[in-house]
């Protein structure tokens, strides 16, 4: 009989009633998700293919996350994304690529996707529908396990369901998304692992990647009497319809260049975020996420570094100088 192994990325053990932009959503706890990042508002294409081409800017970005620093085999994730808008006749589109390298315990994941979005003018913004198509590779370092040293009745050195050597497998994968954005607010919904890939390592073991839904949104409040200040509350809800997590963030932007903020994850952590536009189009960000449970005594928290560069290639005519802090 083949045994199914599902990599455990994060576990939530609480129940909450979540209010997101007027939508009441109730989901129940204990979950496994794709890698999560605290600076999700700056890398929307990492979770939603419909966000490619947003803001009429060509962007290249990278993010590296070290989770639970000082804990052995703690998760470590690296993203690279590239996206650009383009025009065909009178229609607008977006295209991009996304690469993820993720390590968590003895598991490793590499994924590569091509992304496309069709953008339709609607009201003061654009409504986009997008898809990403690619491949995901999942590996397991079975040669790092030595059951013979366990010395108890629960571990059998001859257990065939535990891989004895390094294993890996690749499968086709895809995701879909919707995204609506204006100069002052945005909201999106996406679903990853639509095909729910099942990677078979051998006749005894396989890996199943569960589909996950993401709901994101945010709003820019430019202070009336102090227009150099912008407050941006945002949120991301993640669920596989069995379990869930929520990330709430409030960012403060000064003169469209300096940024700082605070975040809170229902799973049990607080996040401190900093950012700066080094030169026109070049953005640097950092976040430090500290667990609110006993993990705080065992690690130095989770740390992210984010770097991106973007420039306007469509050069639309503008009637004002407003700049969204999400646009580089």
Region 258-266 average pLDDT? 96
Round to whole Å and give the CA distance between 158 and 161: 9
CA angle 244–245–250, rounded 5-degree value: 150
324 lies in some domain: no
In-domain check, residue 321: no
- We report the CATH number of the domain holding residue 63 as 2.40.160
Report CA 300 to chain centroid distance, whole Å.
22
In a domain, 320, yes or no: no
Measured CA distances, 10 to 18, 57, 105, 268 (Å) = 19, 33, 12, 11
In degrees and rounded to multiples of 5, residue 42 shows phi and psi of -95, -10
More confident site: 294 or 41: 41
Cα–Cα distance between 31 and 8 in angstroms, integer? 8
**Cα separation, 226 vs 97, whole angstroms:** 38
Instruction: Give me the mean pLDDT over the 174-189 stretch.
Output: 96
Please tell me the predicted confidence (pLDDT) of residue 203.
75
Q: Domain for residue 48, yes or no?
A: yes
Q: Which domain holds residue 307?
A: 3-312
* Structure confidence at residue 28 (pLDDT): 29
* Separation CA 81–CA 100 (nearest Å): 9
**Which residues is 235 bridged to in the sheet?**
217, 248
**What's the pLDDT at 249?**
97
- Closest by CA position to 217, among listed 236, 198, 232: 236
Cα–Cα–Cα angle for 264, 268, 272, nearest 5°? 35
Can you tell me the mean pLDDT for 214-243? Answer: 93
For residue 251, name the pLDDT band (cuts at 50, 70, 90): very high
Residue 325 is assigned to a structural domain of this protein:
no
- In sequence order, the 6+-apart residues with CB closer than 8 A to the CB of 65 are 35, 37, 75, 76, 77, 78, 302, 303, 304
User: What is d(CA 110, CA 168) in angstroms, rounded to the nearest whole number?
Assistant: 10
Residue 26 pLDDT: 31
| Rounded average pLDDT over 173-201 | 94
Within a domain: 225: yes
Lowest mean pLDDT of 60-69, 152-161, 259-268, name the range: 152-161
Q: Residue 246 pLDDT > 80, yes or no?
A: yes
Q: Which two tokens stand for residue 243?
A: 């379990």
Residue 284, pLDDT above cutoff 50: yes
Among positive and negative, which fits the CA dihedral 264, 61, 279, 56?
negative
Beta bridge partners of 6: none
| pLDDT score, position 24 | 31
Q: Is 319's pLDDT higher than 90? A: no
Establish if 326 belongs to a structural domain.
Answer: no
- Evaluate if residue 275 carries a pLDDT over 60: yes
Residues with Cβ within 8 Å of residue 152, at least 6 apart in sequence = none
Q: How far is CA 85 from CA 6, 114, 243, in A?
A: 36, 14, 35
Please check the confidence at residue 241 and state whether its pLDDT lies above 50: yes
Give the chain's domain count. 1
Q: How many CB atoms lie within 10 A of CB 255?
A: 10
Q: Give the mean model confidence (pLDDT) for residues 118-129.
A: 95
* 305-325 mean pLDDT: 67
Residue 323 lies in a domain: no
The gap between the terminal CA atoms of the chain, to the nearest Å, is 52
The pLDDT value recorded for residue 32 is 53
């Amino acid at each position: 009989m083949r045994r199914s192994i599902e990599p455990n990325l994060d576990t939530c053990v609480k129940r909450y009633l979540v209010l997101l932009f007027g939508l009441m959503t109730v989901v129940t706890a204990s979950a496994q998700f794709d890698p999560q990042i605290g600076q999700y508002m700056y890398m929307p294409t990492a979770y939603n293919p419909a966000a490619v081409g947003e803001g009429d800017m060509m962007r290249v970005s990278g993010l590296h996350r070290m989770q639970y620093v000082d804990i052995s085999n703690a998760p470590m994730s690296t993203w690279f994304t590239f996206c650009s808008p383009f025009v065909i006749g009178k229609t607008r589109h977006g295209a991009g690529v996304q690469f993820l390298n993720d390590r968590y315990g003895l598991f490793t994941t590499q994924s590569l996707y091509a992304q496309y979005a069709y953008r339709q003018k609607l009201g003061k913004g654009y409504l986009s529908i997008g898809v990403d198509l690619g491949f995901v590779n999942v590996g397991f370092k079975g040669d790092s396990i030595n059951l013979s040293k366990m010395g108890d009745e629960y571990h059998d050195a001859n257990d065939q369901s535990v891989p004895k050597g390094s294993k890996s497998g690749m499968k086709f994968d895809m995701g879909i998304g919707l995204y609506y954005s204006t100069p002052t607010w945005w909201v999106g919904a996406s679903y990853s692992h639509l095909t729910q890939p099942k990677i078979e390592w051998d006749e005894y073991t396989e890996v199943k990647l569960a589909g996950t839904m993401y709901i994101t949104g945010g709003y820019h409040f430019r202070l009336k009497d102090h227009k150099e200040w912008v407050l941006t509350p945002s949120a991301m809800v993640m669920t596989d319809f069995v379990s869930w997590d929520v990330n709430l963030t409030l960012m403060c932007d000064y003169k469209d260049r300096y940024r700082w903020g605070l975040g809170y994850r229902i799973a049990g952590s607080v996040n401190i975020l900093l950012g700066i536009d080094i030169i026109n189009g070049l953005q640097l960000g950092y976040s430090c996420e500290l667990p609110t449970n006993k993990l705080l005594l065992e690690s130095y928290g989770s740390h992210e570094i984010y770097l991106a560069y973007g420039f306007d290639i469509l050069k639309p005519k503008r009637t004002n100088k407003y700049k969204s802090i999400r646009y580089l």
